[in-house]
Amino acid sequence: MIKPDDLATLHIHRLIFHDVPKRIRGLEAAPVLSEVEATLDEDRIAHLKRRLVRVLGSKSAYDIQFRPETQSPVPELIRDYTKGKQRPDEFVPLSQKFAQFLFEQQTGSSSSGVLSIMDTTVSGKRGLVVLKLEREEGAQLELSTKKGKRTFEMSVLDNLVLTEGTRLFKAALFVRTGPGGDDFSSGACDSQRPFGSTDELAQFWLRFLGCKLIEEPRVATKKFFEAALLYVNDAIADPVEKTKVYDHVMSEMSSEKKTFAPRTFIEEYVPKAHREPFENFLKEQQVSLKQFPLDTSEIVGRLRRRSYHTAKGAEVRVPEEEAEIVKVAENSIVIADTVTRVDHK
């Protein structure tokens, strides 16, 4: 799991760009590969890092792990490169393999882009950043020559990433945390398409990386739902606020949205006085604050409500899966349950 302290201590030691066009049937195309890494420029690095933090630390970022079985060579390249000491000589060929694989994958409606690989450390631990910047068709990138070898210098960023308006941004950070093949802390984000979308393009980035979400969406959804209801019941005393937040939880969980971001929910629906305590409660309950695809398959029964409205204005709502606790007779309604709270509105 990528944490703010990880992003704060991210250092970029090497960086390279490759221009990776889209493969179009019948047309000759090939990636333009840099042969040497770019010269680092402190101010541009600082700016680039700020953009990476904004994306990888955003509400839309998600924690990932390598897929055990994948067609992508990316996991193996990352495992191998980050093992042991830094091997600067292998950086350029490694990055070219990423670019070549991206080119092979970039067909159909995938966009052309500039792929950047960064050799990094996070609190001294080795890591790699993989970044794809999309650019307009026809936009030219200027190749430079360094010691007789071609390269894209950091100035290419000026038009692609350093302008505030750049939105088309796919990023991933892999930090080695131990010697094992899966000892990584990894996160990703696709600012162009939320990964929860069902279409092919939305899955493109994860497939390219050979990764999957660290937590099954159905588990993440259930954990948030249960923790949120627990908090609403135990920590919100005001009955009006309690009802409102409860309704928002039910409504968001039942919505047609593809993804759910807990931090967005907090900002939009949780009363100000409860934002920090609620977020802390979610953390205590091991609920990830990162975005996840909404999958209500494990809570669907609890989301459905059955409502009973009486002649004198009483209203009883019960979870559909608990409907048998209500016994309705001609002049009475009996609920076989224990009263835990009475709110006076």
Partner 1 sequence: MSRSDLEQARVSWLADEPSFREFGQLVKSGLEGEIKRLGIKAEVSMRTKDIDSLIKKLILKPEHTYESLGDKVGIRAVVRYQREVDEIVASMPSVCGCSEPDDTRQRLADEKDEKVGYISVHLDTWLKDGHSLLAQFPKTKYRAEVQVRTLAQHLWSEISHDTSYKSGTKIRKDLKRRIHLLAGLIEVADNEFSRIDDEMSKMPDMAEFMILKALERQYYKLSARPGNTDLSLEVIRLLWPLYEQTPEQISNRFGQLLNEKRAVLQDVFDQMSKTSKGRSAFFFQPEILLIYDQLQSYPYKLRERWTERFPPQELEMVATAFGHSFA
- What does the binding site for partner 1 look like in residue numbers (CB under 8 A)? 3-11, 42-43, 45-47, 49-50, 53-61, 123, 266-267, 272, 275-276, 279
CB nearer partner 1, residue 289 or residue 335:
289
In the Cβ-directed half-sphere of 242, how many Cα atoms lie within 13 Å? 16
- The secondary structure of 202-227 as a DSSP string is HHHHHHHHTEEESS-HHHHHHHHHHH
CB nearer partner 1, residue 272 or residue 345:
272
SS3 for 279? Answer: helix
Least distance from partner 1 to the Cβ atom of residue 3, Å: 7
Least distance from partner 1 to the Cβ atom of residue 100, Å: 31
CB nearer partner 1, residue 45 or residue 201:
45
Burial (CB < 10 A; 0-12, 13-18, 19+), residue 196, is buried
Least distance from partner 1 to the Cβ atom of residue 137, Å: 27
Which of 139, 200, 202, 136 is CA-nearest to residue 170? 202
CB nearer partner 1, residue 122 or residue 211:
122
Least distance from partner 1 to the Cβ atom of residue 60, Å: 8
CB nearer partner 1, residue 74 or residue 118:
118
- Bridge partners (DSSP) listed for residue 129: 118, 173
Which of 207, 266, 216 is CA-nearest to residue 71? 207
Least distance from partner 1 to the Cβ atom of residue 5, Å: 5
Quote the CA–CA distance of 205 and 132 in Å, as a whole number. Answer: 9
Least distance from partner 1 to the Cβ atom of residue 146, Å: 23
CB nearer partner 1, residue 4 or residue 165:
4
Element (H, E) at 137: none
